[in-house]
Amino acid sequence: MDISRFGLNVRDNAALAISLAARPQGTTMGEISSHTGQGQYNVFKRAEDLGHTVIRQGKGAQMRIRLIHRDDRNSLSQTGIDAPAHVQADNALIQSDENKAVVLTFALERDLQLALRRNLAQLEAGLTEADGGSEEDFRDITAKDKDGNLVVIEVKAVKAGKEAVAQLLSYMGEVAAKNGIAGNRIRGLLVAPDFQERALSAASILPQVTLKTYRVNFVFGDA
């Protein structure tokens, strides 16, 4: 990610924070702190002052951050759906129609993860939770398959690219190291509505990574 286009004169750590937040999938404040050794709220305030959009969800180390260049906002898909009440806006830009879809993405990923936890067996027969029922170290879900192998599951609400595959692989490596197990004893599932060509290519040579698509069906009734 070329952060010079954001027009910020920052130190290396701050530049890294911006690069992380500007990824398609965003990042967490915990990940930023882990990589930079410090919080970067002042940097994001400066980005807002220059007209860019900073989207935040949650609090503390778990805060989810996405940074959008002001020239990219017009390319975001528009939606007439209001942003969920539990997603708090940090500046007036977030309330514009073109940003509602981005805010909704963060809420959807959290809701999808919770729904998937309740239906792991539908994703793969024999899958059970192995993380105590909650996100651990920024991973979405860590499970066990019917053979007792650990399975790291990453959920995306939008079309997933190669960055999502790389993110899943890094989480798999962390879980393997933490549990002192061989790499071939851990699997990864990337769940998304669709995948970019490069994601499909990357996963095709990784036997321990499986891509899964999902579809959401709405059921309507009279109030």
> 127 and 95 in one domain?
no
> 174 and 105 in one domain?
no
Q: What is the CA radius of gyration of the chain?
A: 18
Q: Is residue 187 part of a domain?
A: yes
Record the tokens describing residue 10, joined without a space: 């920052």
> 133 and 63 in one domain?
no
CA distance 136 to 32: 16
Binned at pLDDT 50, 70 and 90, residue 82 comes out as very low
> 129 and 96 in one domain?
no
Domain end (from 111, 136, 164):
111
Q: What is the domain extent for residue 81?
A: 3-111
Q: Is residue 177 part of a domain?
A: yes
Per-residue exposure over 135-168, b if at least 16 CB sit within 10 Å of its own CB, e if not: bbebbbbbbbbeeeebbbbbbbbbebbbebbebb
> 151 and 107 in one domain?
no
As a whole number of Å, the end-to-end CA separation of the chain is 47
CA distance 165 to 189: 9
Q: Is residue 60 part of a domain?
A: yes
Q: Is residue 32 part of a domain?
A: yes
Binned at pLDDT 50, 70 and 90, residue 167 comes out as confident
> 190 and 130 in one domain?
yes
Binned at pLDDT 50, 70 and 90, residue 81 comes out as very low
Looking at residue 2, its pLDDT comes to 67
pLDDT per residue as tens digits for the range 93-113? 334 444 444 445 555 677 788
> 195 and 124 in one domain?
yes
> 162 and 104 in one domain?
no
Indicate the pTM of the whole model: 0.56
pLDDT per residue as tens digits for the range 170-212? 889 989 998 999 877 899 999 998 999 999 999 999 999 999 9
CA distance 210 to 191: 9
Domain end (from 80, 111, 142):
111
The per-residue pLDDT of the chain, averaged, comes to 76
Q: Is residue 219 part of a domain?
A: no
Q: Is residue 218 part of a domain?
A: no
CATH number at residue 196: 3.40.1350.10
> 7 and 107 in one domain?
yes
Q: Is residue 223 part of a domain?
A: no
Count of domains in the chain? 2
> 180 and 133 in one domain?
yes
